[in-house]
């Protein structure tokens, strides 16, 4: 089955700095790579996604890159704000079934 | 965008009782839904795949007789935790995939149900 590794497990940045979270996956059948933000006591919320036919996608301060050959993908958040503080999960999906990374706790210090 | 609802959002029950959690896709049909469990400070772990009109598929280590899944319609799946015990206390989250562009499925999550067994 699919195996997703996510790094780092915790990340602390100063407000305004950039944050980068990296994931690797093992199953070449995975073709959809979503990123989720989860706040305390709530379900995960999709913040950005990328499909296997695209190498990079950007949405305002958030961008995701995908390297299919190396089987890794990354989340980039620029100009971080305190409200970006949350747990972020990457996932690799095939046929709608997702395998999640272990999560990264991002803390943005004001 | 697609919306998936869950009910209840939280529930407290006594040990030995059963609890039913509903997952609904509100604006699209889902022949398949997924149930995840999340313990505190951990990731989401897939429990089972709910299939409309057929039996659910359970992941290794998940007791199918304890976690009963029924996919009653194209918009509703239910998870029943039978004879609940304190170790079943967790955050249960459902998701429903919808076919997006280029043949890949986008997954939409419900808000989750926090179960506490006393």
Interface test with A, best of B44, B92, B106, B111 (most A CBs within 10 A): B44
| 8-state DSSP, A52 | T
Of residues B40 and B93, more confidently modeled: B93
The residues pairing with B114 across neighbouring beta strands, listed in sequence order, are B10, B91
pLDDT of the residue at B8: 96
Of residues A51 and B1, more confidently modeled: A51
Q: CB–CB of B105 and A89 under 8 A?
A: no
User: Residue B42 pLDDT more than 70?
Assistant: yes
pLDDT of the residue at A25: 97
User: Residue B17 pLDDT more than 80?
Assistant: yes
Over range B12-22, report the average pLDDT.
Answer: 97
Of residues A103 and A96, more confidently modeled: A103
Q: How confident is the model at residue B1 (pLDDT cuts 50, 70, 90)?
A: low
Q: CB–CB of A36 and B108 under 8 A?
A: no
Whether the CB of A103 is below 8 Å from some CB of chain B: the reply is yes
Q: Which two tokens stand for residue A38?
A: 């989860």
Whether the CB of A31 is below 8 Å from some CB of chain B: the reply is yes
Over range B8-28, report the average pLDDT.
Answer: 96
For residue A14, give Cα distances in angstroms to A17, B13, B113: 6, 42, 33
Q: Please write the tens of the pLDDT for every residue from A64-91.
A: 999 999 999 999 999 999 999 999 999 9
Q: Which residues of B touch A44 (CB under 8 A)?
A: 44, 93, 109
Q: Please write the tens of the pLDDT for every residue from A33-51.
A: 999 999 987 888 889 999 8
Whether the CB of B60 is below 8 Å from some CB of chain A: the reply is no
What is d(CA A3, CA B59) in angstroms, rounded to the nearest whole number? Answer: 15
């Amino acid at each position: 089955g699919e195996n997703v590794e996510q790094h780092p497990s915790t990340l602390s940045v100063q407000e305004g700095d950039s944050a980068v979270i990296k994931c690797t996956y093992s199953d070449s059948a995975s073709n959809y790579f979503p990123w989720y933000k989860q706040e305390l006591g709530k379900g995960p919320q999709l913040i950005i996604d990328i499909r296997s036919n695209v190498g990079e996608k950007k949405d305002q301060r958030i961008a995701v890159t995908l390297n299919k050959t190396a089987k890794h993908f990354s989340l980039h958040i620029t100009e971080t704000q305190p409200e970006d503080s949350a747990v972020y999960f990457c996932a690799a999906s095939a046929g709608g079934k997702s395998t999640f990374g272990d999560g990264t706790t991002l803390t943005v210090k004001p | 965008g697609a919306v998936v609802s869950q009910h209840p959002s939280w529930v407290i029950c006594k040990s030995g009782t059963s609890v039913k959690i509903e997952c609904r896709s509100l604006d699209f049909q889902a022949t398949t839904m997924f149930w995840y469990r999340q313990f505190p400070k951990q990731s989401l772990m897939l429990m089972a795949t709910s299939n409309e009109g057929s039996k659910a598929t359970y992941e290794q280590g998940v007791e199918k007789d304890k976690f009963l899944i029924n996919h009653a319609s194209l918009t509703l799946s239910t998870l029943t935790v039978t004879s609940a015990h304190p170790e079943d206390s967790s955050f249960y989250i459902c998701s429903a995939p919808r076919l997006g562009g280029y043949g890949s499925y986008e997954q939409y999550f419900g808000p989750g149900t926090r179960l506490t067994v006393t």
